[in-house]
Structure 1
């Protein structure tokens, strides 16, 4: 049965693809947009748009009117902010979505969080229940974690809300901050990426964007309220990642190892410039410290409970490189 579905973050990397995917299935999508200029790629006869942000409460109520489901993907995911933007958008904005959904009688809400809230893999791959053993590295992680705690309060009061936690997403789509892995792939195959973080042995988990889209839909359909589901892909070291990109791209480029000490110093300078002169940093010390850890992830819960499937890294990189080479 076709549904009426409200989406925030609909102009983003994942949100845009999700909106189009849902319309392809015959659903009617209502997209929250900040401006029509940013939403040109969303134009579709089954997508209507409501202008506003997470704090435009009337727009939220209007957009959710008659909706069966809400996907909340909008977030502030920058490296740094000069004020409390992380807390305001990622916590308060999420609560506004949940309040509006409750008021309008929406049956199910799904919130996109991040695998970063769970923390690094210290005793083997992390899962949804792995206790965090180190402090948060970034305000993005900590604000998303706090948001999850607040979501569970709404679930305890009877609201159906499910959380998904994607890892490092890559694949065809806008080359923005949320698609930084694909930007790295592009720079490497063009011979513009020169550095190997640390010794190249730090492990990350890389998930193909189409898997994330399917994971969102599966979690909405089959997820249990109050539960989080890791939407991951394959674990790979930086050496393995760049070897895969080189193999698919057809050319291997020399990479220079960047010691973590040098990266940390650079991050400190960047943060100083940001805090004193308002200049947006490329990286902060917190982000650099993440390279000291393993980020191996198990998606077994999503696979068992939701029917989630993982695209092999080689196949996903191949799809991504082909898309980049064919002029996007």
Structure 2
């Protein structure tokens, strides 16, 4: 049955694919966009647009009119901000969406968070209920965590809101900050990437973008209100990741270990320059410290409750390489 669906973040890496997937299924999708120029890759006969941002209440009211479901993917996910942008967008912007969804009588809202809120794997792979053992590394993580706490309050007041927490997403799509793993794949195959963080044994969890799209739709359909669902893929060390890329790409390039101490010093300089001159840093000390930890993830809850499925890393990288160099 066709539904009217509102989506924020529709011009982003995940949001663009999700909006088109929903439209291809016959649903009427209304996408919140900042400008028509940013939506040139989102053209579809069943996708319409409303211009504004998370604080444009009139646009949000207009966009959600008659909607059954809302997918809220828009977020501020940069390395650094000179003001309170993380809190304003990721917390207050989310609350605006939930407030207007309630006013409009939207039945279900899904909010995209991040696996980073749960923290590193200190005692084995993390799951949705793993208590955080270390402080937050970045303002992005902490703001998304605070947002989740606020969402729980809305659920307690009777609103149906589900949270999904993707890990490191990769795959065909815009080569932007949200798709940094795919940029890494491209640069390595082209021989332009030379470094590996630390000893290369830090583990991350890599999820193929199509799995994340399916996970969003499954969570909207089957997710329980107030619950979070980790949308992960396969765990892999940096060496395992680069070996997989090399195998698919057909050539192994030499990589140089970058000591974390040197990376930390570079991050501190970058942060100093950012705070003094407002120049966006390449990396911050918080992001570097993440390399000291394991980031192994279990997606068993999503598999059992949602019917979520995982594409093997090798298959996902192969699809990505074929798309990059077709």
Deviation at 1:44, TM superposition (A): 1.0
Match of 2:183 in 1: 183
Cα distance in 2, alignment partners of residues 177 and 28 from structure 1: 28
1:263-314 CA deviation, whole Å, 9 max, x = no partner?
0000000000000011100000000000000000000000000000000000
Alignment of 1:46-61 (within 5 A): 46-61=46-61
**Structure 1 length as normaliser, TM-score?**
0.99
Match of 1:153 in 2: 153
Cα distance in 2, alignment partners of residues 100 and 50 from structure 1: 15
Alignment of 1:198-209 (within 5 A): 198-209=198-209
**Structure 2 length as normaliser, TM-score?**
1.00
Structure 1 stretches of 4+ moved >2 Å: none
- Structure 1: runs of 5 or more not aligned: none
Cα distance in 2, alignment partners of residues 62 and 20 from structure 1: 20
Match of 1:130 in 2: 130
Match of 2:71 in 1: 71
Alignment of 1:287-306 (within 5 A): 287-306=287-306
Alignment of 1:4-83 (within 5 A): 4-83=4-83
1:20-75 CA deviation, whole Å, 9 max, x = no partner?
00011000000000000000111111000000000000100000000000000000
Match of 2:245 in 1: 245
Match of 2:111 in 1: 111
Q: Report the aligned-residue RMSD.
A: 0.3
Alignment of 1:156-235 (within 5 A): 156-235=156-235
SS in 1 for 2:124: coil
1:243-264 CA deviation, whole Å, 9 max, x = no partner?
0000000011110000000000
Cα distance in 1, alignment partners of residues 52 and 104 from structure 2: 17
Match of 1:311 in 2: 311
Cα distance in 2, alignment partners of residues 308 and 102 from structure 1: 28
SS in 1 for 2:236: strand
SS in 2 for 1:152: helix
